[in-house]
Amino acid sequence: MNTDRLVRTFQELVSIDSPSFDERRMADELAGRLKELGFAVSEDGAGEYYGGTAGNLYAYREGTLPGEPLLFSTHMDTVEPARGKRAVLRGDGRIESGGDTVLGADCMAGTAALLEALTELKEEGRDCRSLELLFFIGEERHLRGSAVFDFSRVRAKESYILDLSGPLGRAANQAPTLVDFRIAVRGKAAHAGFAPEKGVHAIAAASRALARMELGRVGQDMTVNIGHIEGGVKATNIVPDACFLMGEVRSYSHERALAQMKNIEELFREEAEKAGGSCEVSYTVPVHAYQVPESHPAVSRFRRACEKLGLPGALEPTFGGSDQSNLSLHGIQGLVLASAMEQVHSCGEYTTVSGLETVAELVKLLMQDRE
């Protein structure tokens, strides 16, 4: 393993500002590197669609081994604070940010490991599967990049997403449905001192519904949260005519998540109408639940590679979304692999040199697998 080159690649990628919907420089950098590695690269129109600076990158390279292409994927964007990032290598092999931004190991650790694996396979003249690579924009904004990608062009049926934090040699094979909702309770304004009985108190109606809601863990496999609430105007003498709430439902069962959403909707409607007001509920489902069975070829391949590296090869559910959710929706099943990123979405985010090496070795083995 060319450790120096791997670390240098990681540092170079991290130094590129690439917040969500401003991935232009990252897309250009990756496209250049992929072309040198013999890939045909194209970019879709997702950037224009969202008013961003770059689209999703798709790359293909014919292999020397038989079989369907394998798909590997990461995302190009990072969460804020994302500008002026740098990767500081410590004496003990830990790589941290400068302290005032995220590091961007999410998702550049997996991306650097992927590039190093491809470079070594080429240098060593190894046989390799046909490969399809996808680098998405806007992953950190509810998977918006992969949500609009045209998957009809993808031939692969099996995928590996390098986008999971936690110990190496583990992979997520199950993820939840996420329902993102907004509620507006409408009442009627009135003077709170002269004629309160003429008003319909939207905040009070919303509060009654909220008090009846199950929040936090609901049953075995669901969570419900209200994350934001606002209402009324900045005055103490007016009965508030509106109250707005934002929240989410997560569940490993798509049906149960939607059923819970219906319950919430009915609860708020009931309390709003009881008070003489009304209620509007809207929601989106940016993430769809999936589960990959243990018997799936992508799992067997992952376990074979882990065994060679002395890694556990363990599967676990995740309660977060990843681009794999959108791949699954289009019939491409796969795993989200632990990829040497820790304390992601914080300025304390870090990776390690040995972690990057392990991920690169793992990817290299997956790409050479003959089954």
Catalytic site residue 139?
A: yes
**143 vs 243, which CB is nearer to Zn ion?**
143
Shortest separation between residue 79's beta carbon and Zn ion, angstroms = 8
Between 176 and 277, whose beta carbon lies closer to Zn ion?
176
HEC readout, the chain: CCHHHHHHHHHHHHCCCCECCCCHHHHHHHHHHHHHCCCEEEECCHHHHHCCCCCCEEEEECCCCCCCCEEEEEECCECCCCCCCCCEECCCCEEECCCCCCCCHHHHHHHHHHHHHHHHHHHCCCCCCCEEEEEECCCCCCCHHHHCCCHHHCCCCEEEEEEECCCCCEEEEEECEEEEEEEEEECECEECCCCHHHCECHHHHHHHHHHHCCCEECCCCEEEEEEEEEECCCCCCEECCEEEEEEEEEECCHHHHHHHHHHHHHHHHHHHHHCCCEEEEEEEEEECCEECCCCCHHHHHHHHHHHHHCCCCEEEECCCCCHHHHHHHCCCEEEEEECCCECCCCCCCEEEHHHHHHHHHHHHHHHHCCC
Q: How far apart are CB 14 and Zn ion at their closest, in Å?
A: 14
> Does 323 interact with Zn ion (rule: CB under 5 A)?
no
Q: Which of residues 146-175 bind Zn ion (CB under 5 A)?
A: 163
| 107 vs 175 by CB, closer to Zn ion | 107
Least distance in Å: CB of 142 to Zn ion?
Answer: 12
Which of 139, 158, 241, 361 is an active site residue? Answer: 139
Among 77, 106, 357, 361, contact with Zn ion (rule: CB under 5 A):
106
Q: Smallest distance, Å, CB 295 to Zn ion? A: 27
Asked if 342 touches Zn ion (CB under 5 A), the answer is no
Instruction: State yes or no: residue 107 binds Zn ion (CB under 5 A).
Output: yes
Which CB, 106 or 241, lies closer to Zn ion? 106
Nearest distance from C-beta of residue 163 to Zn ion, angstroms = 4
Residue of 22, 23, 77, 271 with catalytic role? 77
Q: Respond yes or no: is residue 273 known to be catalytic.
A: no
Residue 240 or 355: which CB sits closer to Zn ion? 355
Active site residues per annotation:
77, 139
Give the footprint of Zn ion on this chain (CB under 5 A). Answer: 106-107, 163
